[in-house]
Amino acid sequence: MNEYYNPLRESFKLAKKIDSIAFKILILSAILTLLNFIFNKYIIGLKEWAEILSNANTVIIVLFAILKFAVSYIIFHTSFDKRSDFVDNSFGTNYSSNKSNKYYNNDTIENGILRMGANSFESCYFTYNLAIKELKDKWVINLLVAIIVLSLAVQGYNTILAMVLQLTLPIYLISDAVNHSIFCLRVKNILDSFCRLYNDLKEEEITTKKEPEIILTVLNYETTLSTFNLLISESLYNKYNPHLSEQWEKLKEQYKLK
């Protein structure tokens, strides 16, 4: 098999599609909140519609939460297969029944811990550079929607349930942007650790004493991924993947990953 193959790609694409639907529902919720405010305050004849919109918005927010849970479940379930494939590619084992091909670009490195570190280094490099490109848009969009919902909250709510659910949304949006920022910082620190580690390995003929550090850095990266369950948009990945692949090849030469 000489062609690129990632058996987990479809699962992640499904998660991204569901996440995209959840985002559209989020925007719809903000629009309904705005319409509810307008109908309730400025168009007296449509106050009944305002109540209908408020109830509909409550249902939409519940649906949003369900979709986000589905995304988290898919990522969690797929992560087991992802780690099995990661180990197989690193050590030449057969824990996965459906192995990837050319997903990692480190075939010239001998199977073992050094290759495992290189695979994780590559993944960390891609993850950070893609995640940081999403950070600004996430803050802008999440803050905008949160401000709209909170600023309109002064109108009051028809029920306690509506109040709790609809005020939970801006809290979630702010925490989501904060978590994305923390994720970027942590992955950047891990990426820097990989750079220092493989810079040291350039000068060492014997890498055995560095193996524990490689394992620790890999575990730190995997723990960060499993903690935050971050999804990179498909369009962003397709846009920057060719450039990042070229840059990774240059890094391999820089750190003598052969």
Nearest to 68 by CA among 172, 150, 158: 172
Lowest mean pLDDT among 110-124, 152-166, 174-188: 152-166
Token code pair at residue 4? 């690129």
Q: Are 253 and 36 in contact (CB under 8 A)?
A: no
Q: Quote the pLDDT of residue 164.
A: 67
- Give the mean pLDDT of the chain: 87
Q: Write the burial class of residue 158 (CB in 10 Å: 0-12 exposed, 13-18 middle, 19+ buried).
A: middle
Cα(92)–Cα(170) distance, rounded to whole angstroms? 47
On whether the CB atoms of residues 232 and 134 are closer than 8 A, the answer is yes
Q: What is the pLDDT of residues 97-133, one digit of tens each?
A: 888 988 898 888 889 999 999 999 999 999 999 999 9
pTM for this entry: 0.85
Q: Is the pLDDT of residue 59 over 60?
A: yes
Domain ranges of the chain: 9-254
Q: How far apart are CA 119 and CA 105, in angstroms?
A: 8
